[in-house]
Amino acid sequence: MTDTPWNRAVAAPTEFRVGLVFSRALLLLRQHWLALFGVKALCDLPGFVPGITNFMTTLGPRFHIGGGPALGAWSPILQTTGGVMSVISQALLMHYSFQKLRGESAGIEESIGPAGGRFFPIIGLSLVWMLACGFGLMLLLVPGVILILMWYVAVPACVVERLGP
């Protein structure tokens, strides 16, 4: 697979075009789909295991497929680990994608450092984001949706632009 420089693949317009944003994003996804999906699947695996085992334990005998192993005390630990890994993988993939969109050569291993260096700000941001959006959704649906849409770009701003503490 060849690395196409982004500045030659699509000429830079003088004004913002949504179609150009989508075409560049889809080009990036098409060229690097294995790395993007592989990292996300690997990092989300700890949070996925408790759901599968709970399904196998509760519904397994009904469908005659056997019960899965009960995780017991490990389930909350795996779910918490999965949540933290999901946030870190999002930061890692954001850094990787923005480096590729800027035309710089980047690899997944090169994006681990900058994403890991923003670990505590990202965790704090995620906690504040969940609490604020939950509170906004409890008030009414519209304030919660507005907060979700406003804070949708918070992790990319924290990782790529190094905003925050």
Residue 112 in domain: no
Whether residue 123 sits in one domain with residue 91? no
Residue 61 in domain: yes
- Of 107, 131, 152, which marks where a domain is finished? 107
Residue 113 in domain: no
pTM: 0.64
- Of 87, 107, 127, which marks where a domain is finished? 107
pLDDT, tens digit, 9 for 90 and up, residues 24-44: 888 888 888 888 888 888 877
Residue 124 in domain: yes
136: tokens are 């906004």
C-alpha distances out from residue 77 to 8, 89, 116, 122, 147, Å: 47, 18, 21, 19, 29
d(CA 156, CA 17) in angstroms, rounded, equals: 20
Whether residue 100 sits in one domain with residue 126? no
Longest dimension (CA), the chain: 62
Confidence band of 67 (pLDDT split at 50, 70, 90): very low
pLDDT, tens digit, 9 for 90 and up, residues 91-148: 888 888 888 877 777 777 787 788 778 888 888 888 888 888 888 888 878 888 888 8
Domain that holds residue 68: 6-107
